[in-house]
Copies of this chain bind each other. A is one copy, B any other.
Amino acid sequence: MAAKSEQTRQHLVHVALRMFREIGFEKTTMRGIAAEAGVSVGNAYYYFASKDDLVQELYVQVQAEHAAKADEALEGLKDLGSRLKATLHAGLDVMAPYHRFGADFVATAIRPTSPVNPFAGESTAAREASLGIFRTAVAGASPPAPKKLRADLPELLWLGYMGIALFWVYDTSEGQRRTRKLVDGAVPLIARGLSLAKIPGVNKVLDDVLSLSRSIRN
């Protein structure tokens, strides 16, 4: 059976992610992972081209958990504010065990060569998956978001989420209490901000912001 190979691979991921959680990214060595998994260093590299590739594995897992948890939490929530709040908190919940490792994760992900980098290639799988979560949150909202913004809102919120994640990384308050407060405080303001889009003066500036954003993307 070809399952033997997959089993080794999964075991390596499992060991690596546990070590990441327990002792952090830098202290987790490839030799350590291999030893703990009972294989040779070379064999670990047979499955993962680099240590960063194991971070990719972490990213995929966190992403999937976030999507699942968000979907569940969205059940029955109608207004955009509640939906957004639920989505953001679900993300923080999933990331929590990796907080001490968060900074190294960000430092790794931000390299243009990293397969995890969300800003690099237009359509990285990672970015699309994450975006999808916010698309769901926006699409199912009633009352719906302003028509003008509906197309760009998920991307905008996702960008905001990246900002929140960055804040979270540097948030040393216990349980990252401050980040939770930021989410709870910011979400209602975003919802109220959106309703301002109808005011003529604001509307005009908004139009220009959107058109600039589109022209920059080429």
Select the stretch in A13-21, A55-63, A105-113 that faces chain B. Answer: A105-113
Select the stretch in A77-85, A134-142, A197-205 that faces chain B. Answer: A197-205
- Which chain B residues border A192 with CB–CB below 8 Å? 205, 208
Decide if A185 is an interface residue (CB 8 Å cutoff).
yes
- Which chain B residues border A108 with CB–CB below 8 Å? 107
Per-residue interface assignment for chain A, residues 155 to 191, with 1 indicating a CB less than 8 Å from any chain B CB and 0 otherwise: 0000000000010011000000010011001100100
Assess whether A107 is in contact with B104, with CB atoms less than 8 Å apart: no
Partner pick for A212 among B111, B189, B209, B215, CB 8 A cutoff = B189
- Which chain B residues border A103 with CB–CB below 8 Å? 110-112
Closest Cβ of chain B: how far from A136's Cβ, in Å? 26
Partner pick for A170 among B106, B120, B196, CB 8 A cutoff = B120
Q: Which of A70-127 contact B (CB under 8 A)?
A: 103-104, 106-108, 110-112, 119-120
CA distance A215 to B192 in the complex (A): 19
Partner pick for A112 among B170, B178, B199, B202, CB 8 A cutoff = B170
With both beta carbons as reference points, the residue of chain B lying nearest to A218 in the complex is identified as B178
Q: A112-B170, A178-B216 are in contact. List 16 more A-B contacts (CB 8 A).
A: A103-B111, A103-B112, A106-B110, A107-B108, A110-B110, A112-B169, A119-B170, A120-B170, A182-B212, A185-B216, A186-B212, A189-B212, A192-B205, A196-B201, A199-B199, A199-B201
